[in-house]
Structure 1
């Protein structure tokens, strides 16, 4: 896999750079960001489902972005199920229909990609 880091590997912050980057203003155009590049987990289903007349044979889970965490913390995403739906692109009813081996694998992977403070909150409340 090719690394497309924004900061070069040989970056030295003490190399004389003293200026701060320019402040972000409203006049800047919104960047086009491809969320699909952050696939965390993908698995073929042991028990494929027919969803809207088409076979769902594979589930992918994206790494959460800061915006996903912000939306959960602010209540825009009301539950972790909503976060899971966003990260998989699946409707809640589709996730409910997954058979247990597939559902268990997805939820274990989901727990692995969540920030530690959210996992700690889940574990301390039940």
Structure 2
């Protein structure tokens, strides 16, 4: 199991160290985006497809988490369910409409994709 202090030291948040001196590389606002190849994503074919805004959804794609995703979760800005929805690039309300057997299979993929400490930390939601 990963040492919780090591995780907290690595992640940013309220307990973040003091800002670096002015001589450090300045933070620059940059638009950065990761494009995930299907080879690094996981797909779940739904046994019970759903319809979202008139479109039939028969499979759900889950991408790997970014540091930003884990950081937002670690800082309690998003819940486990919201993290899972973010990785699926779907609103959490859509995932809540899945039949339990499909939702359970999706949670299994989620457990394989996120860092172990995400699952070890007590949370109020799935």
TM-score (norm 1): 0.68
Deviation at 1:73, TM superposition (A): 1.2
Aligned pairs for 1:6-85 (under 5 A) are 24-27=25-28, 30=30, 32-37=32-37, 39-77=40-78, 79-85=79-85
Deviation at 1:117, TM superposition (A): 1.3
- Size of the aligned set, in residue pairs, is 99
Residues 12-63 of structure 1: CA deviation (Å, up to 9, x unaligned): xxxxxxxxxxx64345x62532243374311221111111111111101111
Question: Unmatched 5+ residue regions in structure 2?
Answer: 1-23
TM-score (norm 2): 0.68
Question: Unmatched 5+ residue regions in structure 1?
Answer: 1-22
Matched, 1:87 2:87: yes
What's the Cα RMSD here? 2.2
**Which whole-Å CA distance do the structure 2 matches of 1:93 and 1:68 have between them?**
18
